[in-house]
Structure 1
């Protein structure tokens, strides 16, 4: 999103520390500015790193309750230093040098787990490893989240499908990424692991729609694309309901000229 997308309000629900170039101070500054619901604090390659991240989480949890803080253990000792009451384990499933499978999925059972990376098929396989019954009746993991930036990395060329990547033909990068996410949603819903409550139900629609898809300051010309709608200036008035303007200047002028009172 850019400053031109005046009619888009997307909650910043997730923030990840750069596992290839981690910087806890930089991350904490970003966290405090954005206040996401889910924060991947970092990868713990040693017990000492895990202890440092746990101390950070303990401090954050007091000031920012009802957030989910994630640490990806990269050694066996890290599990011992993390607190399951406040910390969600990151299940490394992407391209990092140490994968969760290297440590053994069994170590993640009994914890809240967020799957980090991997295409949806790989993520679904990981969910099975973490939750399916075992011969020794081990407690399953509670898989609470999954993220993957593949659709964004490939948005200029291809979109993901359960049958592999497909050429995006004439689609824009945004259309390509959207198609990937639609395919991912359908795939995970079919597998029965899509959440019952979606973010839109918690935060509302990201783009506000006027009562009529026309430009008030362009003589009633139609709003013809999603991109145009995302760059609109929406006003809601007792006299007219919700209307759309292409120009903020025209919006303010019309409000003044017509005496419209914003709701």
Structure 2
């Protein structure tokens, strides 16, 4: 399950086991935090203002796990995205390209082994307006956007046995970030509907939705055994002792403290400092390397 947004929401999602990412014309907005570094695992395209050359530059920069190359509205556009997907796979075997067909001609132009994106959520078109379920069965599919309950209905539609014995689709992933918008309206997602979150901060509201979503998918047996954090390590490193080394041993008292901390890893252990200057000063005088 992928979640696209920015810090601190992506940081929390990543720690919960989500694959986090962003649209290629944006950033995770984590560079101003000394101790925050979530990987870009999911790279979406700017479908309102697509620029394939710019997108491929971002793939070169981030090497995401999943790359939504583009939304194809014509046969020629789909062919262009297919060539780009082939090039990505030739160069970066670990990157999984996705092409989103927005018409039947585009769907027919996409090669059988390429992941196709089922437009959902904010999409202004329904795949069933230009194709049938059988066109998607037997294909590798990523579901873009929508709530978990909507997405689960699509999973069932594409995978359950049929009277004609059609092959099931291989659902390789899902993504969505609608819970962020809901949080600004003071609500968090649950399987039975949105609940008021007047007692929670925006960050805590989003995290509550993400926790509910993960529990929902796990309850349906849909969650990876290996989470991205298992492969890439934590986005926010924690010191061996929750104290500032440059402030007389005073404790780090908040999540924000840890995210802003300058972390050093030494033979003596992992330690936290309040500033880069203090970190370098103590490293020099203590001989830590």
Scaled to the shorter chain, the TM-score interval is over 0.9
Q: Which runs of at least 4 in structure 1 moved beyond 6 Å after TM superposition?
A: none
Partner residue, 1:219? 248
Secondary structure of residue in 2 paired with 1:164: coil
Given the alignment of the two structures, is residue 247 of structure 1 paired with residue 283 of structure 2, yes or no? no
2:201 to 163, 168, 172: 172
Q: CA deviation at 1:6?
A: 1.3
Given the alignment of the two structures, is residue 91 of structure 1 paired with residue 139 of structure 2, yes or no? no
CA deviation vs aligned residue, 1:37-79 (integer Å, no higher than 9, x gap): 1111111222111111111112222112121111111222223
Q: Cα 1:235–1:62, aligned 2, differ >3 Å: closer, same or farther?
A: same
Q: CA deviation at 1:26?
A: 2.5
Q: CA deviation at 1:116?
A: 0.4
Q: CA deviation at 1:257?
A: 1.2
- Give the superposed CA RMSD: 1.5
Partner residue, 1:233? 262
- Which range moved further: 199-208 or 98-107? 98-107
Q: CA deviation at 1:174?
A: 2.2
1:75 to 98, 103, 117: 103
Tell me, which stretches of 5 or more residues in structure 2 are unaligned? 1-6, 8-29
Q: How many Å separate the matches in 2 of 1:114 and 1:185?
A: 17
- Counterparts of 1:1-263 in structure 2, within 5 Å, are 1=7, 2-85=30-113, 87-102=114-129, 103-156=131-184, 157-238=186-267, 240-261=268-289
Q: CA deviation at 1:152?
A: 2.3
CA deviation vs aligned residue, 1:232-253 (integer Å, no higher than 9, x gap): 1111222x31111111111110
- Which range moved further: 66-75 or 96-105? 96-105
Q: How many Å separate the matches in 1 of 2:112 and 2:238?
A: 42
Q: How many Å separate the matches in 1 of 2:225 and 2:170?
A: 15
CA deviation vs aligned residue, 1:187-237 (integer Å, no higher than 9, x gap): 111111122221111112211111111111111111122221111111122
Q: How many Å separate the matches in 1 of 2:223 and 2:266?
A: 38
Q: How many Å separate the matches in 2 of 1:56 and 1:81?
A: 13
Q: How many Å separate the matches in 1 of 2:32 and 2:52?
A: 31
Aligned length: 259
Q: CA deviation at 1:22?
A: 2.2
Tell me, which stretches of 5 or more residues in structure 1 are unaligned? none
Q: How many Å separate the matches in 1 of 2:190 and 2:249?
A: 40
Q: How many Å separate the matches in 1 of 2:159 and 2:153?
A: 10
Tell me the TM-score normalised to structure 2 length.
0.85
Of structures 1 and 2, the one with the larger relative CO (CA 8 A, separation 6+) is 2
Q: How many Å separate the matches in 2 of 1:4 and 1:48?
A: 41
Q: How many Å separate the matches in 1 of 2:33 and 2:259?
A: 5
